[in-house]
Chains A and B, each alone.
Chain A
Amino acid sequence: MSAALRHVFLASLRRRRLATALSLLAIGLGVTLGLAVQLINSAALEELGRGMRLLAGEADLQVVGPRGGFDDALYPALAQRSEVRVASPVLEIEARLPDHEGETLRILGIDLFRAARVTPLLRMEVETPEGASDERRDQLAPLRPDNLFLSPAAADRLGLAVGDRLEVQVGVRAVALQVAGSVPDADQALAVMDIAGAQQVFERIGVITRIDLRLAPGVSRAVAQQRLNDELPPGVAAMTPAESESEVLGLSRAYRVNLTMLAAIALLTGAFLVFSAQWLSVVRRRSELAFLRALGLDRAALRRGLLVEGGALGLLGGLLGVVVAYLLTALAFRVIGGDLGAGFFRGVSPELHFAPVLTAVYLSLAVLAGLAGAWLPAREAARMIPARALRSGDEAEAYRAAPRWGLVVAILAVAGALCLLPPLGGVPVFGYLAVLLILVGAVLALPGATPRALALLRPGRSTPWRLAKARLTAAPGQVLIAGAGIVASAALAVSMAIMVFSFRGSVDDWLTQLLPADLYVRASDSSASGYLDPDAVSRVAALPGVERVRPVRFETLRLGEARRAVTLIARPVQRSSGLPLVAGMQRPGWVGDGARPAWISEALADRFGLAVGDPLALPLRGEADPFRVAGIWRDYARQQGAVVIELDDYRALTGDLRTNDLGLFLAEGVAPEAVMAAIRDALGERVSEMILPGELRTMILEVFDRTFLVTYLMEAVAVLIGLFGVSTTFAALATSRRKELGILRHLGLRRRQIGALLAREAALTAGVGLAVGLAAGGAIALVLVEVINRQSFHWSMDLRLPIGVLVAFGLSLILLSALAAHLAGRQAMRQDAVVAVREDW
């Protein structure tokens, strides 16, 4: 069989080069994109995770709380517990560096005596400046509050050497620290200093952000964790390093899953192309295959041979894809960094490694796609009765396709039901399955839809028109073969277009609502060490031209049993504007049942199963303060969830008067530029950042577009390959019908009319395929918006149709198909029609 396999089956791939090349390309594309996304992400994640693991050192548990930290009295209490062998307190600061264009530096304030036993990689090494005598080494340097120790990566990034001074921002002040040495074992960009110094310098006396715990010998981690979590104050949690890691990594998971799914879609397109190509090839080789059967090739061997063709396509395409994926990944690391421009992995510099498992998985997926595409044609070929197929003129058999409405309805019903299921582990698996089923259902609907669609058309007068209609009505299988690719590409392109269009529009609206002020001022990113104190706020508010200001304070809290991190936003709500509510009220009627109002984001509502009116305990000061959900708002910025409360409530409960962002409403006719200049004078240019809402909006939409750029590109390539596939399909169809077309020529049809006939068939096929594809695309878009986005990111959006784009897309698809078929027909008719009829094997 092996010789026959090589010369008869595999060799056929070489004979239809274009179709083979396109199938390879589509499968290769799917593998490239899928694997590249995975490689880039897994390298970035691995790097991020490794960094976190290194920093967690030998800690068995890490006690964490709000981002702003928790009472450091917890440290001696925990350190003395019998379960704990060593406790190591950490105060982590993301310090804004006014002299480095607002860049931030991660500073870990540690107790070196403790860290040495838990996180030895944070060892500080005292160094003397170049040229200075070693004898002058200050052994107490690691304890001095104004000394900083830089990891080699940080020293490199900031261009600093031992003895240099580095200014860090505290509020709107700049404080100078001295580089006293290195953190030689840390390979990330970070700095270490004494915890007491960090508390003093950054005005965080009494606060730490983490306690790393090593447990006493024989103490079970699970038991200790449970016991600690029972006793820790609300909002503070003991987590395993793996949990902390997955909490951080989890943020980007939905994004990664979605990119991976797009890659799967490209693979699917590849499978469709393999299907079309194989089906046509089987039709054309019908008598050859029958003859082989007569020679004694059994059905199983025939099926195997045809499947091997598909598998070989998959394998070759897969190999191609793997090679390109690695090249692309290497390039991506060099050019855009490890996050595909989405900003999840800032500051991580991953390296490309060969990933054998991942590579094998994608190779097998590619082979699977090839096999799946070849499956139906192989089954069909094995089914044929050789005696009949040996006679010529039997091709029409292959284009018979019965309408299968029952199956279509059943598949779509299952798809509908799948949409109602919850996600699996945060991944909308069933949503994706529903998308796949809709696609399959749409393709299966083609044979049934074709006669119906054709019946709707006016009876045409011209011969080619009537012939085309008759042909398609009698051989809906032809539509199935040629149209499957169109349906698939149209459905996917349309659904993505609708989804992205809806998403972008919703984000735009959301930004408009969320950014009502004329100008925004801040001292640093809300996660960094800058903030505006009340004095700075009142100075800004008093500037001429400023009518009023709206301060916002950001914090991260841990909520609920699982103590998951959510963002807290404290700002004026009821006396202000701009919460994009989807439920509840911005000004709730109720007052004074002891609970204060809170407005939660959709993600929070989803994750905690909260509805308007539900009570909500927020651990703002180490104890649970009662709130009540007054409304649910749409938030595209924080997948982990966010809660808005009144700034006055926050200040009353915590006594924290700091402001992160300050929105400025200007008096009529005041130019923001003048106010900006005044603010720079008032606060100091180095320690403040300002932005106009218009710029911010543009920036955010740019990020949005960049994030979806990959999507757009993949979509375009998939559609392009789909179209090429359609045109090769028509070319192949025309060739396989040379005899039929030859007869028509004998009957007196002119060459031009044959071309017109084929073009019309193609246009009709494309039209039917497009109609079905549009319907399927709409349905898939609905699933993407209502199920997949909702379940992956927990946000809703308003469905919008990009009518113009869809119309242009549809028209060009039909025209291109007609053109392709026309050209293919001319190619097929170049040979003498008489020869075509007489040739009879």
Chain B
Amino acid sequence: MSRYANDRSLRRLAAAGLVLILGAWLGALPGSGARAGDFAPVLPGRPLVFPADTGAHPAFRTEWWYITGWLIDEAGRERGFQVTFFRSATGVGQDNPSRFAPRQIIMAHAAIADAQTGHLLHAQRSDRALDPLAGAAVGRTRAWIGDWELALADGEYRARIAADEFGLDLALLPPGPPVLNGEAGFSQKTPDPRNASYYYSRPHLAVRGTLRLGEHAHRVTGEAWLDQEWSSEYLPEEAEGWDWIGMNLHDGGSLMAFQMRRPDGSPIWSAGTLRDGDGQVEALAPEQVRFRPRRRWTSPRTGAEYVVEWDLEIAGRSMALVPLMDDQELDSRRSTGVVYWEGATRLFEAGREIGRGYLEMTGYRERPAGL
């Protein structure tokens, strides 16, 4: 899913990198220069082929590999984590023989949710694709910026992040083939089929590796979720933000669901994918997915009000989302200006926890006064 707040909340964009990403990311919005027509269109009926489609698709404007999950350390302490690599085609420099020609931009982002810290630790990097310093390889997953890397080799993913405050070195083993979202991987985002992406998920990745917090390294295991999605025209202008979940269900199944919101909070579109414990996949139509706010939390930093608990209606079942902790807001105003909520969350049905995963909410921060 696309993970950031929209253009209007990006007033104080400071550091160069993320600004660009977001600009490119939200390319469908006016003012971003390049037109969707400059990039390959997302059309229904294109079969996804693995492992070739785990690699990058540079002809499309945007692409990401998005890992979220829960970790447990030797002491039994649970934390959420998130590792993302973005690729963004700029449409700039196609004719430029310079090695610096900024045709593709790579960005990486990582965060740790620790209930004891009470807020998120996060770090990011961005760079232009310039071999061998940064890039996203075609044919098999490999996206990297310096020593931050996500790569697929011998059927196992490896994610390495080395930030000042924390570090991750994780091996992630998928238990089975990817789950295709939407119509065999063609995922529509609005009633207009032009707003769509190619989208597959890999739930129930078995995680083992090391989590470093400051100077202390912890051996961790856990379960994670990987999304890969690429698109050229994603968001319509009327969209204010979105809510998204990716949940590993305890019965071995998985649930992905999202809704696009208007400024008044009403959904433009919603959809999802439910796989049961036996591996049966059901693509959920808009009317089968309902997000209903249950509890709100106001950030003391930004004043943004997030719905941290939701009631869900998924294919006729009633479920509830409860976060690991309320404060999983990403406040990057000082660096990139981006503010959103992304956090480890539990999924309940009939008062019983049936799964764990991540919830993402964007577009909740109002335009700051005077800007």
Contacts and interface: CB of A to CB of B under 8 A. Distances in A.
Given A80-B132, A136-B31, A141-B33, A196 B20 contact: no
A115 B126 CA distance: 12
B312 to A, nearest CB: 34
Contacts of A72: 99-100
* Most chain B beta-carbon contacts within 10 A, residue among A123, A124, A133, A197: A197
Contact of A142 (B20, B32, B34): B20
Interface string B82-94: 0000000011110
A79 B30 CA distance: 36
Nearest to A77: B132
B96 A140 contact: no
Interface in B1-19: 7, 14-17, 19
Contact of B101 (A79, A123, A135, A196): A196
Contact of B24 (A136, A140, A199): A140
Interface of B is mostly: loop
Interface in B39-68: none
A138 B100 contact: no
B34 A140 contact: yes
A200 B96 contact: yes
A89 B130 CA distance: 12
A196 to B, nearest CB: 4
A145 B100 contact: no
Interface in B113-171: 126-128, 130-133, 146
Contacts of A133: 31
A111 interface: yes
B16 A142 contact: yes
A89 B133 CA distance: 13
B100 A194 contact: yes
A114 interface: yes
Most central of B16, B17, B22, B128 by chain A CB within 10 Å: B16
Given A142-B16, A205-B97, A76 B130 contact: yes
Contacts of A140: 20, 23-24, 32-34, 90-92
A440 interface: no
B209 interface: no
Interface in A201-248: 205-206
A72 B146 CA distance: 18
Chain B residues touching A, range? 35 or more
A139 interface: yes
A664 interface: no
A113 B21 CA distance: 11
A196 B98 contact: yes
B102 interface: yes
Nearest to A142: B16
A76 B132 CA distance: 7
A119 B291 CA distance: 45
B92 A138 contact: no
Contacts of B22: 139
A206 B20 CA distance: 24
Contact of A114 (B31, B93, B127): B127
A199 B133 contact: no
A143 B127 contact: no
A112 interface: yes
A262 B100 CA distance: 52
Nearest to B17: A113
Contacts of B98: 195-196, 199-200, 205-206
A722 B139 CA distance: 88
A112 B16 contact: yes
Contacts of B14: 123
A195 B31 contact: no
B30 A89 contact: no
A137 interface: yes
Q: Which of B20, B29, B90, B100 has the most CB of A within 10 A?
A: B100
B93 A139 contact: no
A111 B145 CA distance: 14
Nearest to A128: B31
Nearest to A136: B31
A173 interface: no
A116 B24 contact: no
Given A113-B128, A200-B96, A143 B32 contact: no
Contacts of A114: 127
B134 to A, nearest CB: 8
Contacts of B24: 139-140
Nearest to B93: A196
Contacts of B34: 140
A206 B92 contact: no
Contacts of B92: 140, 143-145
Contacts of A135: 7, 29-31
B100 A89 contact: yes
Given A80-B133, A145-B92, A111 B32 contact: no
Given A76-B132, A136-B31, A139-B20, A195 B100 contact: yes
B79 to A, nearest CB: 25
Contacts of A136: 30-31
Most chain A Cβ neighbours within 10 Å, of B29, B133, B146: B133
Contacts of A143: 20, 90, 92-93, 102, 128
A80 B132 CA distance: 8
A156 to B, nearest CB: 24
16 contacts: A112-B16, A112-B20, A113-B17, A114-B127, A123-B16, A135-B7, A135-B31, A139-B33, A140-B32, A140-B91, A143-B128, A196-B99, A196-B100, A199-B98, A199-B100, A200-B97
The 9 closest A-B pairs by CB, nearest first: A139-B23, A196-B100, A112-B16, A136-B31, A196-B98, A199-B98, A143-B102, A138-B33, A196-B101
Given A139-B20, A196-B101, A205-B98, 18 more contacts: A73-B99, A79-B146, A89-B100, A112-B16, A113-B105, A114-B127, A116-B15, A123-B14, A124-B16, A136-B30, A140-B33, A140-B92, A141-B33, A143-B92, A196-B96, A199-B100, A205-B97, A206-B98
Interface of A: 72-73, 76, 79-80, 89, 111-116, 123-124, 133, 135-145, 194-197, 199-200, 205-206
